[in-house]
């Protein structure tokens, strides 16, 4: 997750303005990082390239300003960073469509990390979401979404984007390569059900923040349930350093 210098230098303004941002970043120990700090962390860990994304803001204006920061970061580090932009659940679909075109033309490859619960996509997925999905398909862009597991410990940012709520949303995303962060909230474990496996045809999951959530053997289970080509490496930096997730992968029995 990357933020602009404006967010890094004036966190309080954004805490006051956005409830989802406040739920995670009101703790002063929650780190806010910029592109240069990420590249330094990549160098320490031996990471060649990172996919960077912003935050699922409630207002379109915040999304657009932070998209500018990601575009600028990717342009400064074209061999190290790949960028995703964000949009809000705006009441003006034309404005959302315009922003998606803008970030695509600027070289960003998709949307993310959208927060389907906090941003309201799960309340009415047909409100603008079908149109977004069509645009992503037409533009050959990907989608990254935040997910949460329905059980386990509580933590800041644990929302209600859980498997039973995500599964119906996926029918709107057929043909869009979709990444469900944090092992998809456990949704891939239902892939042993044929109808769920069909819904997950275009779905990938990542390892972002998994050391907080599961024992390393969960990676073996994800591969068994969903396939080795559907599991992506992610860190959720700066929540945790890349080295921690690399060690976590090594502690599984994946070859």
Within the chain, what is the greatest distance between any pair of CA atoms?
49
CA 249/CA 247 separation, integer angstroms: 5
CA 115/CA 184 separation, integer angstroms: 12
pLDDT band at 129 (very low <50, low <70, confident <90, very high): confident
Instruction: Provide the pLDDT for residue 31.
Output: 92
8's tokens: 């890094």
Other Cβ atoms within 10 Å of 129 Cβ, number: 20
CA angle 153, 26, 116 (to 5 degrees): 60
CA 131/CA 214 separation, integer angstroms: 35
In the predicted model, is pLDDT for residue 26 greater than 70? Answer: yes
CA angle 53, 164, 157 (to 5 degrees): 40
Q: How far is CA 54 from the centre of its chain?
A: 8
Instruction: Provide the pLDDT for residue 126.
Output: 62
Residue 7's φ and ψ, nearest 5 degrees, are -70, -40
Q: What is the pLDDT of residues 152-206, one digit of tens each?
A: 888 877 888 899 999 988 988 999 999 999 999 999 999 999 999 999 999 999 9
Percentage of residues in the chain having pLDDT higher than 90:
78
Q: What is the pLDDT of residues 1-16, one digit of tens each?
A: 999 999 999 999 999 9
Please state, rounded to an integer, the average pLDDT across all residues of the chain. Answer: 92
Q: Can you say whether residue 43 is alpha, beta or left, with left for phi > 0 and alpha for psi between -120 and 50 degrees?
A: alpha
Q: Taking the CA of residue 6 as centre, how many other CA atoms within 13 Å lie in the half-sphere pointing to its CB?
A: 10
């Amino acid at each position: 997750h990357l933020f602009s210098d404006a967010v890094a230098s004036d966190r309080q303004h954004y805490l006051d303005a956005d409830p989802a941002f406040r739920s995670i970043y009101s703790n002063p120990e929650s780190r806010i990082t910029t592109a240069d700090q990420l590249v330094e962390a990549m160098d320490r860990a031996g990471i060649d390239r990172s996919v960077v994304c912003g935050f699922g803001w409630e207002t379109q204006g915040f999304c657009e300003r932070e998209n500018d920061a990601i575009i600028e970061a990717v342009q400064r580090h074209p061999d190290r960073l790949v960028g995703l932009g964000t949009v809000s659940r705006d009441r003006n679909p034309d404005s959302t469509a315009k922003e998606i075109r803008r970030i695509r033309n600027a070289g960003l490859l998709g949307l993310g990390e959208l927060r389907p619960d906090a941003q309201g996509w799960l309340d009415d997925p047909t409100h603008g979401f079908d149109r977004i999905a069509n645009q992503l398909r037409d533009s050959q862009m990907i989608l990254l979404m935040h997910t949460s597991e329905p059980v386990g410990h509580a933590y800041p940012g644990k929302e209600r984007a859980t498997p039973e709520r995500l599964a119906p949303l996926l029918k709107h995303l057929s043909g869009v390569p979709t990444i469900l962060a944090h092992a998809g909230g456990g949704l891939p474990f239902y892939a042993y059900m044929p109808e769920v496996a069909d819904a997950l045809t275009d779905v990938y999951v990542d390892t972002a923040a998994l050391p907080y959530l599961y024992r390393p053997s969960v990676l073996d289970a994800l591969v068994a349930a969903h396939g080795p080509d559907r599991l992506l490496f992610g860190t959720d930096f700066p929540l945790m350093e890349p080295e921690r997730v690399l060690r976590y992968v090594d502690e599984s029995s994946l070859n």
